[in-house]
Structure 1
């Protein structure tokens, strides 16, 4: 995708609405606190003056996004309409949901769709076979990109130089005893995954859990998402993932390439 021209970037800067940016930033900070929060806690978390945070919170309350008893503030279910709007309008979800359902049924395992958001992956859809009680990753769940199979599959879109730079800047805190955090090892692993067309991560993101992923490409070959299947290490071996899951994932990814713009 072409980068915006300098004059376009400058024009966009003049159209920037600071109050909206602050409001969205404050909304996000509810996830950083446990339970209802005070005005002071939220203002501090969002790095906003107390008076500014107060005006934003009462605006959000008027819109139905925030509830308060006068001292504590909490989000309301109305906030979920924002996420629902994204899911309903996402072409990737609409196109991939039938694929996820199909491969989940064929493998009798949960399948998931994720997109890259900065240093993290966000799971935005999943398929589950009828016999499996749904215990997989919830929609909206986030994980670090560097230690997940979906993340590594999507990080392969960057050339070696940019990938090395991104890995060096990422927070690479270990999630398990098996998490690889060394940027040079990660760079080599992602380059190898790019060459083979899939990523398999074994117990790096969650203890006792391994997963395999393939990138989702749009019509022009650009990577825009990744789909995966995972299982507990006691149930499914790495060999079975490659032999049984990988062909299903590849077929699903290939089937939608011409449909994604």
Structure 2
């Protein structure tokens, strides 16, 4: 009698490497502060026994990812090789980078590319106009999805039931005095944005800053990212964003649809 194949979930459970998971969780916890951390800090943040955290840290040190003076631990630049591997292997980044550069040059404003990561958005590429002192969201920067134009543009991929459940479950902190946190109002806003084909957020994520975004779809219509342009409220009005920025974003997103698999 042939052997029955185990369910996928069972296979995933048996293939799970707990030590690797712990090491990755510990690496991620370095971001909760802006300086070095002690063994006790890291063990507490990861909810791991001190002995376990210590073994992981010294393994990471041997691999060149962590440095220590015997008491305090810090990440090394070698950690950036992990992010670089993602950026080099991401088709979305390679296809969209020329688009971002072209849009930024045309509008003389910074353009950005973001993807969803849980309840947050993370910015993975940007295009800047040819001027020395340009400011904008750095690669790797994270923001809550619910109050950002890129986040709302991507959340529109969910059907109304899924979207309502996700909004109700996610953490919705007030970022500015203009942040909308009510899940019913957010649901209505994202549904309206879905119909319009773009999202415009005005001073909800950061004070004095507004942005406009459109979803980026792959060949089959699935939303895989969002591109945006933003500016300080004193420089660019919402009307100008719609009139001048939106056509550039829409043209860029539509132009790469057939290239994304």
Following the alignment from structure 1 to structure 2, what is the Cα–Cα distance between the partners of residues 111 and 39? 40
Taking the TM superposition and a 5 Å limit, the aligned residue runs for 1:205-220 are 205-220=205-220
* TM-score with structure 2 setting the length: 0.97
Q: Cα–Cα, structure 1 residues 121 and 181, in superposed 2: closer, same or farther, change >3 Å?
A: same
Matched, 1:27 2:27: yes
Matched, 1:151 2:151: yes
Paired position in structure 2 for 1:112: 112
Q: Cα–Cα, structure 1 residues 165 and 6, in superposed 2: closer, same or farther, change >3 Å?
A: farther
Following the alignment from structure 2 to structure 1, what is the Cα–Cα distance between the partners of residues 247 and 6? 44
Aligned residues: 257
Taking the TM superposition and a 5 Å limit, the aligned residue runs for 1:1-261 are 7-131=7-131, 133-261=133-261
Q: Cα–Cα, structure 1 residues 132 and 216, in superposed 2: closer, same or farther, change >3 Å?
A: farther
Following the alignment from structure 2 to structure 1, what is the Cα–Cα distance between the partners of residues 6 and 154? 27
Following the alignment from structure 2 to structure 1, what is the Cα–Cα distance between the partners of residues 76 and 134? 25
Q: Cα–Cα, structure 1 residues 33 and 131, in superposed 2: closer, same or farther, change >3 Å?
A: closer
SS of residue matched to 2:109: coil
Q: Deviations over 1:56-75 (max 9, x none)?
A: 00000000000001111110
SS of residue matched to 1:176: coil
Q: Deviations over 1:17-39 (max 9, x none)?
A: 00000000000000112311110
Following the alignment from structure 1 to structure 2, what is the Cα–Cα distance between the partners of residues 33 and 46? 14
* TM-score with structure 1 setting the length: 0.97
Q: Deviations over 1:83-102 (max 9, x none)?
A: 00100110000000000000
SS of residue matched to 1:54: helix
Following the alignment from structure 1 to structure 2, what is the Cα–Cα distance between the partners of residues 239 and 34? 38
Q: 1:6 deviation in Å?
A: 8.5
User: Structure 1 runs of 4+ off > 3 angstroms?
Assistant: none
Q: For structure 1, which runs of at least 5 residues remain unmatched after alignment?
A: none
Preserved contact between residue 218 and residue 257 of structure 1 (Cα < 8 Å): yes
Preserved contact between residue 109 and residue 132 of structure 1 (Cα < 8 Å): no
SS of residue matched to 1:216: strand
Q: 1:132 deviation in Å?
A: 5.4
Q: Deviations over 1:80-138 (max 9, x none)?
A: 00000100110000000000000000000000000000000000000001025231000
